[in-house]
Amino acid sequence: MKIAVIGATGLVGNVMLKVLEERGFSSSDVIAAASPKSVGNVLKINNKYYKIYSVEDVIKMRPHIALFSAGSAVSQQYAPTFAKNGCFVIDNSSQWRMNEQVPLIVPEINAATISPVNKIIANPNCSTIEMVMALYPLHKALKIRRVVVSTYQSVTGTGVKAVRQLEAERRKENVEKAYPHPIDMNVFPHGGTFEKNGYTSEEMKLVNETHKILNDKNIQISPTVVRVPVTGGHSESVNVELKKSFSMEEIYTLLNNMPGVTVEDNVENNLYPMPLFAQGKDDVFVGRIRRDFSRDNSLNMWIVADNLRKGAATNAVQIAQYLIEKYF
């Protein structure tokens, strides 16, 4: 197997290389590609060394699977070429997510919708992945009517430039800004670009991608995206209204039985998910699970995951593993 990582020098690309190694892929089977300014350099990840190639060079190497994390423009330009050569493309950008011909995949939920003709496969947005991981078992058993979600998203979701801005602000230094406002000692309700309906592009991803992954456009979703000065992962406050009545024991059972979800909910011992402790882990953590006493058949949850791992790199590698098991 030859696995290519396009955008290997970025935050997500780095983690893709780490996750591939953790899951048994030899560094000799992994091809790293990045922008022209990085070509020829050597990237060190966990004491393994990867020579950086150009995307054009990688096309000629004919990898079996290519993990893309280099932005929408690169995916738009090069993904069809890889696919035409018979390579499966797993794309982490937003370029292909809402394309009706492209499956949008969280393996624990809908890997079975992939077919051999789907050479381009979309990796969902990081905040969407962790939310649907918790919503899926509830929707399957009880059917979701409405979701109200507020996110608390790490600066790592924006990239290296945002992390540098946060670190520089904490040192009281000037640096090129990724955000229109200071992020240290601050939060702001702005993720992506503002759209005509008053919502941001990041907020609309939560709506549109959830509908596609859960295959149900009737779920009502009201999102607010907030950026917070942390690096460990994304957190979400999620209120869910279900169509059927439930017991809290049933909710805990459904979540505990969902692969990839860990319930951390013991308030007597101050146990609940936090990005500080989710960082570096692949699971989605759910806590503060409680009935919403203001509305029938409703509950609240607090969901946290490392947005660079399950929210991006790990999910992509899991898709790759599924493809290998199914088609190679």
Catalytic residues: 126, 234
**61/87 Cα distance (integer angstroms):** 11
Query: Cα 169 to the chain's mean position, in Å?
Result: 26
**Vertex 208: Cα angle to 100 and 66 (nearest 5):** 55
Degrees to nearest 5, angle at CA 65 with 59 and 67? 90
Please give the Cα distance from 94 to 151 (Å, whole number).
18
Beta bridge partners of 68: 6, 91
Kind and range of the H or E element at 120?
A: strand 120-122
Residue in this structure with the two tokens 């058993």, named with its chain if needed: 141
CA-based nearest residue to 23, from 317, 315, 322, 282: 317
CB atoms within 10 A of CB 196: 5
DSSP per residue, 130-163:
HHHHHHHHHHHHH-EEEEEEEEEE-GGGT-HHHH
- Dist. CA 314–CA 267, nearest whole Å: 29
Per-residue CA distances from 326 to 45, 49, 114 (Å):
29, 29, 10
From CA 257, how far away is CA 200, in angstroms rounded? 33
Structural tokens at position 11: 């935050």
| Strand partners of residue 242 | 144
DSSP H helical ranges for 224-299: 248-256, 275-278
